[in-house]
Structure 1
């Protein structure tokens, strides 16, 4: 079985490596829809499935893993900030708030597909401007939904976290993926 991660994310690659199964990483030829273009859960599904289907088109005999993530804070849908200024604005908005991260996960073959959206909740402490500036200068989280890296110093920004799978917060829900891959893994 050829297993392919349909992502360029170094975070997803590092997470999948934890499972010690051989896989390839392929950049999907897919343009992601942006926050605001559709309802949040549909947006996550659209981007997750779109990336996986794009890779499956070029690798029809493989098993494809797709994933996408966004953050919800009240009425605001947040993706990757893309700049230091946007990261600071996101963290100011998230200060003292409960944020729900939606991570889409799919396992796709030419014979069928599995999909699930896995939520994870983070409660941010009240953050000062100095804390935000210091954090951003250290971790540069411009490529992370919500502008933090929970696997690094970002953990210090929280009061608490809630959810079934902490790896969903990083971007690839390994508990669910392991359950799906179990019957496919060689004995």
Structure 2
């Protein structure tokens, strides 16, 4: 009986250790190598992905060498530093899914975001990993069959938000044929260079 209890305790201790190990590796920072770009709206109302910039009025993205496209989130100070001296490597915690990866340069509690409704145009950011950039496209219909890519929504006043959220929420946006005058609700977090709308 004592041997059975000892074996059970040993098994539980091992399981707890494995869970702790898994959760700590999830929380560990990762280095993402790639090309940092700024996605913003120009004076003519066109969305551009630029790899040469001194400031960014839109959002920062990393076209990763690992074949993923990441939205960059960080403090206002981190975003200003990134604009002044863009790097080929960004460090932080990674979250999201294939069509909405985010790399967090600083901790973020999404629930502390502001509930907001945003109306604007949804733009697909089709990645070119060879060139280290994206081609912004306003699709004429659903985009769920296209190569996995990220999305932004921009408003009439030129504000750009990277879209993130659950796979189901992003999939719903991709399957919707309407791309202009789209209204999305969710939580807005971030600052200049790192505005993100988490859709629900």
Q: Which has the higher strand share?
A: 2
Q: Which has the higher helix share?
A: 1
Q: TM > 0.5 between the two? A: no
Larger radius of gyration: 2
Q: What's the TM-score, normalizing by structure 2?
A: 0.25
